[in-house]
Amino acid sequence: MRNLLAGNSVIPVIVLDREEDAVPLAKALVAGGLKVLEITLRTPAAVGGIKQIIEQVPEAIVGTGTVCTPEQVQLSEDLGCQFMVSPGATDQLLEAAQKSSVGLLPGVSTVSEMMRCMEYGYQDFKFFPAEASGGAAKIKSLSGPFADVKFCPTGGIGLGNVMDYLSLSNVMCVGGSWICPANLVKEQCWDEIEQLAREASALGQ
């Protein structure tokens, strides 16, 4: 995951309500400089949207988000995704991910959860929900006892606080939905989304 996400400081977290929005949204984000896209498996449109993006936007690095079950691990592999992101991490999920060819960024919010994932060999984590779980201050405090660990914080992050996270040495990227807000996607404002992506891609450079 660290190699895959290298050089990508912001990962858009996408919730697709309509399949027809998938390709133009992905093209706008990629044109704005954001190539790594996390599409959450929260909606009925997600699977079809992922298929279309992989087929029609080859520059995009597509991953699934909100991966919670072994079945969704298998689905991510079947779809041809390049990575998976989970909000938390159960033993069942971690065991399924170990057998998968698709890399997982497991979600943690406590030290004990992180240590359990480390027993499975993980060094890179989604820190979620970031703001509600202690924010940048908590992540900074973890750099001492866990110097080799890197985080992708997600949850409650926007332009007002994103640099609090990206300035930390143990943060490799952040996940955020502010780049593709629901109202702009609904109104198909692709130029505005491309501009938001352009601004986001310049962060942390």
Give me the sign of the Cα torsion angle 12, 16, 30, 189: negative
Burial of 59 from C-beta contacts in 10 A (0-12 / 13-18 / 19+): exposed
Does the annotation count 38 as an active-site position? Answer: yes
pLDDT surpassing 70 at residue 175 = yes
Residue 120, pLDDT > 90, answer: yes
Catalytic residue from among 126, 131, 194, 199: 126
The percentage of the chain sitting over the pLDDT mark of 90, rounded to a whole number, equals 96
162 to 11, 130, 188: CA distances (angstroms): 12, 11, 25
Q: Is residue 112 packed enough to be buried (19+ CB in 10 Å), middle (13-18) or exposed (0-12)? A: exposed
**Integer Cα distance of 63 and 158 in angstroms:** 21
- What's the structural domain count of the chain? 1
The confidence score (pLDDT) of residue 204 equals: 72
Domain hosting 115: range is: 2-201
For residues 194, 128, 161, 35, the Cα torsion angle rounded to the nearest 10 degrees is -20
What is the per-residue pLDDT for 62?
98
- pLDDT tier, 205 (very low <50, low <70, confident <90, very high otherwise): low
**Cβ burial, residue 3 (10 Å; 0-12/13-18/19+):** exposed
Of the residues 38, 77, 95, 186, only one is catalytic, namely: 38
For residue range 12-67, what is the model confidence (pLDDT) as tens digits?
A: 999 999 999 999 999 999 999 999 999 999 999 999 999 999 999 999 999 999 99
Say which range, 49-58, 184-193, 196-205, has the weakest mean pLDDT: 196-205
pLDDT of amino acid 134: 98
Distance, CA of 165 to CA of 137 (rounded, Å): 9
CATH of the domain at 91: 3.20.20.70
pLDDT mean across residues, the chain: 97
Tell me the mean pLDDT in the region 142-160. 97
pLDDT exceeds cutoff 80 at 77: yes
Catalytic-residue membership of 113: no
